[in-house]
Chain A
């Protein structure tokens, strides 16, 4: 091939090769810079306190130990905090998506009066700055006797999040052809059957995307947690990490290990469901 091509195509090929090399150099440097802080924390988390004290945080590591993880996990209470986070996140994701998919089903498949207004009202609630809700929400949960319990956190997370998911799922469900549903109606299917047997399975891609996304959002929340919770042992991992920072000042191996523990679940979800995750962001944003 190269023997038959003239000198002009040789220069184009060289230029293209240079461009490719330039691209990889640029993108590679950028990625390396981006990953550097993460690498630093991973390295710091397995160093000993003495090593960091002697050689500095930015110095080359001279030791390896998992002691930081043990201290964060056991003494720092992160085991408890991680369980709390899961106890909040998993039910919240499931409940929010169940409720939101029902509402989206009703709004998108039936001629409800005021359906557009309802839809936008629900989306509008999610767009409100949470700050305006903090004080009343803490008071309401006190009145209900839910203050300082995970139930309050689950409740407010569901209430605040549901509007956005309804909006996204509504857009998705509207694209399902009406004929599919009509056939089932004629066969005598109830709304519940249509919802659970027909529409929901067809909405799976959107549900997968939203669950990956909402898992990280709810798991990573700090503001609602410190608004409705007070007791340390009930705090989720984000709040516990801040506590760890106060408790182990300058013990960077423990703090770094704590950060790794707090980030691990969402990173795992991301790596496992990367495609859904990215799809979810676009799904929500295009609207």
Chain B
């Protein structure tokens, strides 16, 4: 990385190159073996740690396996078992709720924060950094920070008492009615800054001429938002949506650190249920089947993401 080769000297050699036969150009695009290795080594690393395990994962979902004896092929029995599994039903419902609440709120509040902080003005850098800072925390640290807030003698209960709402105080994480929502809040606290950054970039990409023209035409603030900002943000919306769905289905750390899916599975997500089934109950076949369900739910998003990437890669 030491010597950055500047462009200038090479351009000076330009005229001499014209003497070279035209065929050179063609030959330069032929693929040398080193270049093949450049692709193959990373591809093999990914194939070994991702594609090969993924194939195995799908196979294991059709087996009954305790991790010690050999996996026994049982066809679709795992999936049949799910239909009667009450915890699975809770996990699916909680995952959907998580998707809607965590996803919906982080998109809305992230957009709101971006609209508030989009303009370059004095102090805005500090505000953005404040909202963005939690993004770099690990979800585990985030979870513990909020666990302190949620304690019976923590800040939230004390604040509620302070404003005369003492009857609302409770052990937020130990209460089946509130555990899931209490877990969503830290996840949101961390995600909103991230979504905000994406939207600020999107807002900056909008051609200011559009706003000026609409002002001349007499459009008010709301009309400008409705007819210029929102349509222009369409591609960012698609990105945010994909990020949110994939993140929601993967969400694990914050729940694991706060409640491990409890109390009584009231904050159980598919991802935590999958992990505890596989690595604590050692039902590896059933756990794999749960992972397949997560994959199937994510598949639509992954596919549409890839289709878009396919278009843009060209």
Chain A residues in the interface with B (C-beta under 8 A): 20, 23-24, 26-28, 30-31, 34-38, 40-41, 44, 56-59, 99-100, 102-103, 105-107, 110-112, 116, 118-120, 122-140, 155-156, 158-160, 162-163, 166-167, 170-171, 180-187, 190-192, 195, 197-198, 200-201, 204, 216, 219-223, 226-227, 237-239, 241-242, 245, 252, 255-256, 258-259, 262-263, 266-267, 269-270, 274, 277-278, 281-282, 285-287
Query: In the assembled complex, which residues on chain A have CB atoms less than 8 Å from the CB atom of B136?
Result: 216, 263, 266-267, 269-270, 277
Decide: B42 and A103 in contact? CB cutoff 8 A.
yes
Query: In the assembled complex, which residues on chain A have CB atoms less than 8 Å from the CB atom of B210?
Result: none
Chain B residues in the interface with A (C-beta under 8 A): 1, 3-5, 7, 10-11, 13-14, 17, 20, 24-25, 28-32, 34-36, 38-39, 41-43, 45-46, 48-54, 56-58, 60, 113, 116-117, 121, 123-124, 126-127, 129-141, 144-149, 151, 153-159, 189, 193-194, 197-198, 201, 236, 239, 243, 246, 249-250, 252-253, 256-257, 270-271, 274-275, 278-279, 284, 287-288, 290-292, 294-295, 298, 302, 305-306, 309-310, 312-314
Decide: A201 and B151 in contact? CB cutoff 8 A.
no
CA distance A136 to B50 in the complex (A): 9
Within 8 Å by CB of B45, from A27, A58, A159, A281, lies A159
Decide: B13 and A26 in contact? CB cutoff 8 A.
no
Q: How far is the CB of B279 from chain A (nearest CB, A)?
A: 7
17 further contact pairs, Cβ within 8 A, besides A131-B250, A134-B275, A134-B279 = A23-B116, A24-B123, A38-B134, A99-B42, A102-B38, A102-B39, A105-B35, A106-B36, A122-B46, A124-B302, A129-B249, A129-B291, A131-B274, A132-B292, A201-B5, A241-B141, A285-B201
List 5 interface pairs A-B (beta carbons < 8 Å), by A numbering.
A99-B41, A155-B49, A180-B7, A245-B147, A270-B135
Most buried by B among A23, A36, A255: A23
Question: Closest residue to B155 on the A side, CB-wise?
Answer: A58
Decide: A286 and B239 in contact? CB cutoff 8 A.
yes
Q: How far is the CB of B258 from chain A (nearest CB, A)?
A: 10
Knowing A106-B36, A112-B35 are in contact, say whether A120-B144 is a contact too (CB < 8 A): no
Q: How far is the CB of B301 from chain A (nearest CB, A)?
A: 8
Q: How far is the CB of B226 from chain A (nearest CB, A)?
A: 21
